[in-house]
């Protein structure tokens, strides 16, 4: 099959590469000519395990192509995937200008039947806006052409996106057209072989499903963080509680890890957008507001613990910071808790020596030569002449440090762990003070 993907960012590039991987002809289009030139040279603008190799292999095999030419993109594929950004507006709603711009471009250049597939995370009712945009442009052209709109939300986790696409839990197809439903089923057949993963539904339900999934996961995280803060006051250990409730199959262990808050491009944006949608329809979604508020507060917990330990005076203190990305196996720092922590430390007069296996270049793009912040290319380099260690991202390489070495190098013999990576007793046996989330001091 021939497929066009509008948008060569995270979702678009993963979608295009994976669809090409199973034998389809895929053309990825982006308005950023520089990005397209880099992609043609095999230079990938994001970090995602395995993606660079998959892109290069499918380019070499002649299945994956890139262009900045809109007409070429529209002409190319029966399927027109829309995978452009939907950044939050000032009021928290999703900004649909890029989605609707793509719809307009498709309508301006299409000459035959197209299946327009919303892959971007969009509010309920977006498919109607896309449909109306296409119909209006075709009417202005005096063209009588058929098209269908499909909602086919992505459920990709940064760090495991290729596996998520190639071995999906579910494939949501939201459409009112039997024709397009069957075409999408055929397109996804290679990913649907050992069991039925396709779930057909109406368009609005498909649009809501994506938001509902992310909001549910964000709710679990905020709920555990709320419990962690309570556990600290009660003298309980949230890690014991986590095991106790996770063993209940109705709850499970996924997304019940307490910490210093969630970040990334999805959860914060989607919770805000769903809350805004509720308001637009006259409903006050109290739980969604609470999820967002708890998370915003949780991002400050590490800094609060640091301030309490140092009795409010951080001037002249120097901290090693392990982890900048919002989660492991990505370089994404959007809404990352690390940003709240390091900015607060520097504002309070401290210095930060930061390390991340993948996100250093992103941090340099965001902060440049920010006074008080230095970048280290090895986690051990961060420990030179520092007073304390702060852990914000749970990369595997941070799991088993030499605590005796940390005791020797940290002037104040203290670790602030925002991801509960260590057993407190083990850390303290090395003569270190240890602050975690929801665990006894």
Catalytic residues: 266
Separate counts of helices (H) and strands (E) for the chain: 17, 14
Count of residues in the chain: 441
SS3 223: helix
DSSP 191: G
Q: What angle do CA 237, 243, 246 make, to 5 degrees?
A: 130
CB 345 within 8 A of CB 319: yes
Classify 277 in phi/psi space as left (phi over 0), alpha (psi -120 to 50) or beta.
Answer: alpha
**Residue 366 token pair:** 């965001």
Which positions ≥6 away from 286 have C-beta within 8 Å?
Answer: none
Rounded Cα distance, 162 and 170, in Å: 14
Rounded Cα distance, 90 and 385, in Å: 42
Rounded Cα distance, 137 and 133, in Å: 6
Q: What angle do CA 398, 357, 301 make, to 5 degrees?
A: 60
38, with CB counted inside 10 A (0-12, 13-18, 19+), is: middle
SS3 91: coil
């Amino acid at each position: 099959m021939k497929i066009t993907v509008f948008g060569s960012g995270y979702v678009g590039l993963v979608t295009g590469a994976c669809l090409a991987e199973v034998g389809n002809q895929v053309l990825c289009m982006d308005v950023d000519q520089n990005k397209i030139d880099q992609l043609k040279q095999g230079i990938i603008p994001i970090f995602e395990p395995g993606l660079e190799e998959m892109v290069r292999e499918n380019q070499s095999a002649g299945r994956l192509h890139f262009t900045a030419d809109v007409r070429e993109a529209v002409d190319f594929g029966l399927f027109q995937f829309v995978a452009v950004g939907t950044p939050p507006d000032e009021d928290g709603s999703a900004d649909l200008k890029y989605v609707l711009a793509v719809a307009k471009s498709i309508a301006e250049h299409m000459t035959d039947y197209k299946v327009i597939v919303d892959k971007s995370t969009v509010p309920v009712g977006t498919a109607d806006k896309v449909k109306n945009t296409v119909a209006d442009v075709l009417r202005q052209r005096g063209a009588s052409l058929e098209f269908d709109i499909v909602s086919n939300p992505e459920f990709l986790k940064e760090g495991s996106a290729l596996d998520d696409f190639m071995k999906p839990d579910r494939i949501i197809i939201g459409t009112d057209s039997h024709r397009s439903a069957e075409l999408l089923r055929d397109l996804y057949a290679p990913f649907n072989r050992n069991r039925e993963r396709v779930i057909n539904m109406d368009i609005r339900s498909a649009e809501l499903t994506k938001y509902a999934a992310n909001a549910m996961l964000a709710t679990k995280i905020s709920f555990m963080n709320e419990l962690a803060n309570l556990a600290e006051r009660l003298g309980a250990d949230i890690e014991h509680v986590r095991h106790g409730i996770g063993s209940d199959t109705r709850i499970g262990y996924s997304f019940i890890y307490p910490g210093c808050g969630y970040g990334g491009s999805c959860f914060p944006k989607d919770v805000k957008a769903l809350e805004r949608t509720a308001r637009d329809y006259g409903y006050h979604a109290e739980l969604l507001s609470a999820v967002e508020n708890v998370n915003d507060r949780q991002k400050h917990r590490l800094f609060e613990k640091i301030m309490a330990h140092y009795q409010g005076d951080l001037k002249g203190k120097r901290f090693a910071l392990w982890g900048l990305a919002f989660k492991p196996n990505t370089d994404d720092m959007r809404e990352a808790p690390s940003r709240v922590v390091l900015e607060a430390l520097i504002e309070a007069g401290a210095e930060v020596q930061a390390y991340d296996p993948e996100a250093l270049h992103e941090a340099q793009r965001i902060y440049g030569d920010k006074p008080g912040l230095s970048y280290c290319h090895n986690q051990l380099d961060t420990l030179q002449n520092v007073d304390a260690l702060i852990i914000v991202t749970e990369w595997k390489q941070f799991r088993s440090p030499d605590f005796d070495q940390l005791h020797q190098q940290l002037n104040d013999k203290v670790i602030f762990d925002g991801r509960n990576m260590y057993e407190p007793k083990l850390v303290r046996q090395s003569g270190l003070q240890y602050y975690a989330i929801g665990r006894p001091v």
